[in-house]
C-alpha cells in the first residue's frame, strides 16, 4: 500500500516545475530555454512548467556568469526552494564563467556558489540538450527521494 508521501513524490517527478535565473548572460542561453516552451518543443506537454516563484519550483535553471553582485541573489533563490531540489547550470558561462572567466568581477561557474546536479554545455546549448538536462535532474531528484540508486556518472550529450 502506497502512503500519501509516496504519491506526492511520484507526482513531483511526473510534473517538475522549473524556475530560471539569469546571472547576467548574453541571453543566448535564455532564448534557448524559452525555445523549450514554444510549440516546436512544447515541454509543457510533458508536465514541465516554468514558474516565477522559487518556493514552487523543483528545478533551478541557471544561465550566465556568476559575479559578485548576483551571487547573493542566486544563493537566496536556491535557499528558498523546497527539498529535494536540483540545479542545472546552462551554457559555458554557467559551467565555468565562459568567455568572461578572467574578468575581475566574475566568481566563475554556478558551482562556486551553490551545488550543481547537472551541467548542460554549449554556447548556447540546444533546446534538446536543455530538455535532456531536466530529465537527468529528475533522476537526481528521484535519487534524493530514495526512489532510485545513484549511478556512477551522468552526462548530457550534444549532437
97-130 tens-digit pLDDT? 888 888 899 998 999 999 999 999 999 999 999 9
How far apart (Å, rounded) are the C-alpha atoms in residues 57 and 68? Answer: 25
**Domain extents for the chain?**
17-45+55-144
pLDDT at 130: 92
| CATH of the domain spanning 17-45+55-144, picked from 3.40.50.300, 3.40.50.12280, 1.10.3720.10, 3.90.76.10 | 3.40.50.12280
Query: Residue 74: which pLDDT band, with cuts at 50, 70 and 90?
Result: very high
Lookup: cell for 153: 556518472
Give the global pTM. 0.87
Residue 28 CB neighbours (<10 A):
18
Amino acid at each position: 500500500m502506497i502512503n500519501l508521501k509516496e504519491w506526492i513524490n511520484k507526482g513531483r517527478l511526473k510534473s517538475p516545475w522549473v524556475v530560471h535565473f539569469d546571472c547576467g548572460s548574453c541571453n543566448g542561453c535564455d532564448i534557448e530555454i524559452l525555445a523549450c516552451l514554444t510549440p516546436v518543443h512544447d515541454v509543457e506537454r510533458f508536465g514541465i512548467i516554468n514558474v516565477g516563484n522559487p518556493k514552487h519550483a523543483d528545478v533551478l535553471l541557471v544561465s550566465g556568469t556568476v559575479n559578485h553582485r548576483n551571487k547573493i541573489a542566486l544563493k537566496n533563490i536556491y535557499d528558498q526552494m523546497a527539498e529535494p531540489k536540483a540545479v542545472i547550470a546552462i551554457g559555458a558561462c554557467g559551467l565555468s564563467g565562459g568567455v568572461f572567466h578572467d574578468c575581475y568581477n566574475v566568481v566563475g561557474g554556478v558551482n562556486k556558489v551553490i551545488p550543481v546536479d547537472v551541467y548542460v554545455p554549449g554556447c548556447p546549448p540546444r533546446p534538446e540538450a536543455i530538455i535532456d538536462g531536466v530529465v537527468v535532474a529528475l533522476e537526481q531528484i528521484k535519487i534524493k527521494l530514495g526512489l532510485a540508486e545513484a549511478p556512477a556518472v551522468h552526462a548530457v550529450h550534444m549532437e
